[in-house]
Structures are given as C-alpha cells and as structure tokens.
Amino acid sequence: MIHLTDKDILLLEKKQISIEKLKRQLELFRDGIPFVTLEKAAVISDGIMKPIAEKENELVSFYDNNKNKLRVVKFVPASGAASRMFKSLFNFLEDFDPKEENIDEYILRSKNHEITKFSKNLKSLPFYKKVLSSLGSSYKDSLSEEDKLYLFISEMLYPEGLNYGFYPKGMLPFHEYTDHSATPFEEHLFEAADYSSIAKMAYLHFTISEQHTSLFDTAIKEVTPTISNKTSVQFKVDYSYQKSSTDTIAVTLENDFFRNDDGSLLFRPGGHGALIENLNEQEADIIFIKNIDNVVVSRLASEIGKSKKVLAGLLLKVQQKAFEYAALLEEGHINGEELLEIMNFLETELNVRFVENFSGFKLSDQMEILKDKINRPIRICGMVKNEGEPGGGPFWIKDSHNHISLQIVESAQVNLENEHQLSIFKEATHFNPVDLVCGIKNYKGEKYNLLNFVDAKQGFITQKTKDGKDLKALELPGLWNGAMAFWNTIFVEVPLVTFNPVKTVTDLLKPAHQLNP
C-alpha cells in the first residue's frame, strides 16, 4: 500500500507516470534486481562472427543493391554533457592557485595527470586557435606558464568565455581541418552521407537535452547546407528529448519515498535505457545506432562506412530468410523437415537457444515457440577486441527459467564477488562499442512495439545523495542491454578503428581524431 498526496498525484499526471508504473518501480527497490547469470563469454565462433574479406564485399554489395527499397535512419544518442569530458579541467580550476604552486607541484599533490597531457599538447587540440582568439590580448607572453594554462582553461570552460563546459559533446570542436573545426554533429552527417543515404537523402535522429535545443537548431541551419554541398546528399535531421514519463522514483535506504525539502517526490532521469521509447517512435526499416562522441576524421571515413555496410548487409540477408520462415509458420502447413530447418536457422544464424526437452513438445506447441522466436526485432551488434576499456561486453546468459541467450552485459549487472561469475567475466575477448544495425519490422512490414521486448529486471539500483541525504536511484535497463533483451541478436567482430569515443578531453589527441597523427 502506498500513500500519495494530492500534490504527488498531480506530479505523476504531469509526468504521465501511472500509479501502476510507480508501484512496479517500488517493487524493484524492495525485491532488489537480481544479478545476471553468465553462462559463458561470447567469443569468435561461439557467439561472435568474424567476417571474411570476400564475404564482407558481398555483404556491402547486397546492402547497396537493396537499400533503395528501404527507409534507413541513423539514430544518435547525443545528450551526453561535455562537463564529464572536462572533469579533470574543472578539478584543476577549482583546486589550483597559480600564485601558490607550480604545475608540477599541483600534479604531484592532486594526482591529476590528465593536466600534464593536456598542457603539453595544447596546440594539437581542435579548439586551441578558438580559445586563443577568444582570449585576445589578455593572453600575454609575459605571463607564467601556470597563469597561461589557468587562463586558457577558464576561457574554454566558463560562461564568460567560450562556455564549452555547458555544451553537449555533439556541438564541441572535435577535429581541426585546414579550413574549419568539425563537431561530432558534422561528422555524423558526413558518415550518414556515405552509408545511410538513399537516393541522395539521409535521415538522422538525435536524442538531445532540452537545454541544448538552440545549439542544435543553429547547427542544422548553418552546417547542414555546407555538408550537402560537399556530399551532394540532402539531410533530414530531427531530434527528441528523453521523456519525462521515463523518469524513475528515488527512495530512501529504507525504500520509502525520498522527498525534496518542499515535500515533493524526487524523480531522476532513467538513463539511456529510457531512449527505447524514442527509438520506438522511428519509422524505418533499418536503424543504425551510434553514440555521438564516437567519430573519426575524414581520412578514416571509408573504413567506417564499409564496416557499417557489412553489418547492414548481414542484417538484410538474415532478415530475408527470417521473413520467409515467419510467413511459412503463419500459413501453418509445415512438415517436420521444414520445422527442423527453421529451428536450425534460428540456432545457427540468430543464436537462439531452445530448452532441452523442446523436441518432446507437440508439433503445434513447437510451431508456436518457433513463431515467438522468429517474430522479433533483429540487432546486429559490432564488437571490438577488448583492450581494457570499461563497459559492457558480449556474453551468453541464463535467465531464471534456464533460457539461454546472447546479451550485452555491463559489469554492474554481474556478481563479481562470485568467483565463478568473475572468472567468466574475465574471459570476455570483446567489448561493446555501441555499433548497432537494427531491423524493427516483421515480415508483413509492420513495426514491432519495441517496448514489448524489454526485460525490466535488467535495470540498475545505485546509491546517490541529494542535499546531503542518501538515496537509492533506479536506472532503467540499458538501451543495448535489457531494453533489447528479447531481440534476436548477432554479434560481429568489427575493426578497432570503429571505436574512438571521447570520454576525456585528451582522447582528442588520439590518432583517429588528428588530421595528421
């Protein structure tokens, strides 16, 4: 039994959150979210495909020859704030006094080694000239190195200067070319022109924070025509916000409502898993998904484009077969040989696993299970070799009903205190770079309701603080984790060059972000 005030009910109505949804979230806090049970790591030839060169060219051609009949959208989660990217620089501004110590003394004291790398490579950063231009005559040669660095970073981040600390990542200068600095927004348009344009038209959808709307509006008006002229491709760009209805309730450590000082309920954003609702609103046959900060300079664009087309070609080939079998099952007149053929396709090409006693079921029951397994959205997920990056990886997991499936799993979902689970987790050879190509329609051309394929039990509960008080927060199942748990999944090894995110400002110094490394 939950007790809600009239004010609480008005807030729920405003957010379009039902009382039933609120109750389900409270149950998750009270019951806890169980850890995922890892069965084994997905590796090459056991859950991960390794494309062969000649097959890659065949898949690229298949995609290019068939895409004109389709609607293709590039979907880019782009609400990431640059403040996290500049965390080490903000720490420097707050903690360093150039009158009291030099840079070396500060680094020794603070262990903020990012500052060393940043300060020694200023001229290689894509916004170096812009910051100097903004500083004007105040940036004097007579200043000490400490004063110069402090002045440079202040001008770059603070509202009185360029205000990059407020910007979304998508609107920051990432790549310095001879004639201009390019933002991730621009680079995504260039990419889309290469692999997701149909008849010289490319559709892109960005999910952004509402506070950054004007920045994206300006970019669409100013940047899009320039890129159209360079690529001969027209762009239809739109965006959406994370829905207020996907916010999640915060509770105390005793699982009671956490209330703000004014007595109102505290809701928090539900994480990137909330974007399954935005994805669900896309009308497309194929959707490419890629994070905003994972872009490269133009000299590497052809490699990126080919990799994306390989994944898309594979999706179309597999989907073609799946649609034929789905139609056959719907007709209902299949023999035992055809049933085995469909079952084999699901197992070998879509990585579906059946319960051990499946063969003992009645034919009618087997057909219903096959219908359920084949009539699902399909995702082709690129995987890169694991080089120690934090984040999710590909695993075979077993659920509470002993059903085994391929999933992208984050470390927070695994009981790493369990030695057996830890050993499996460490066996992962690949990493999830968020490189997906999705088919979201059935064999009749009808769009699936993607919300029907979410596993709500794959969310996260974390501990936070608000106004000095402890609270528990609920993060929804991640967009490529539990939000796609019941999709059919294929993992494919992709080149390392496809993964170049910018998590910290000095990542911009890596070769993939430099014009002449």
- 52 and 190 housed in the same domain: yes
* pLDDT over 80 at 353, yes or no: yes
Q: What are the tens digits of pLDDT across the range 5-52?
A: 999 999 999 999 999 999 999 999 999 999 999 999 999 999 999 988
**Does residue 39 lie within any of the structural domains?**
yes
Residues 235 and 127 in one domain: no
141 and 196 belong to one structural domain: no
Please check whether residue 417 lies inside any domain of the structure: no
Q: Do 288 and 257 sit in the same domain of this protein?
A: yes
Paired tokens of 80: 């990431």
Q: Same structural domain for residues 173 and 150?
A: no
Q: Are residue 291 and residue 236 in the same domain, yes or no?
A: yes
Environment class of 32 (CB within 10 Å of its CB; exposed 0-12, middle 13-18, buried 19+): exposed
CATH code of 274's domain: 3.90.550.10
Q: Tell me, what's the pLDDT at 516?
A: 82
Q: Are residues 34 and 100 in the same domain?
A: no
Residues 75 and 141 grouped into a single domain: no
Q: Would residue 113 count as lying in a domain?
A: yes
For residues 23 and 114, state if they share a domain.
Answer: no
User: CA end-to-end span of the chain, whole Å?
Assistant: 62
- Percent of the chain at pLDDT > 70 equals 99
132 and 255 fall within a common domain: no
* Element housing 345 (H / E): helix 336-349
Per residue in 278-294, pLDDT (tens digit) is 999 999 999 999 999 99
* Single residue among 130, 157, 184 that ends a domain in this structure: 157
Which residue in this structure is represented by tokens 């105390």?
252
Q: For the chain, what is the domain count?
A: 2
Angle between helices 19-31 and 6-15 in degrees, nearest 10: 100
If asked whether residues 226 and 305 sit together in one domain, one would say yes
Helix intervals (H) in 32-168: 53-66, 82-85, 87-95, 103-110, 114-120, 128-135, 145-157
* Measured CA distances, 234 to 63, 64, 372 (Å): 20, 18, 39
Domain boundary (108, 125, 157) is at 157
| Average pLDDT of the residues of the chain | 93
In a domain, 398, yes or no: no
Per residue in 132-163, pLDDT (tens digit) is: 999 988 888 778 888 999 999 999 999 999 99
Phi-psi label, residue 163: left if phi above 0, alpha if psi -120 to 50, beta otherwise: left
> Among 157, 184, 204, which residue terminates a domain?
157
Residues 64-80 have pLDDT tens digits of 999 999 999 999 998 87
Quote the tokens at residue 230: 């360079």
Domain that holds residue 185: 6-82+168-316+429-513
Is residue 232 located within the same domain as residue 272? yes
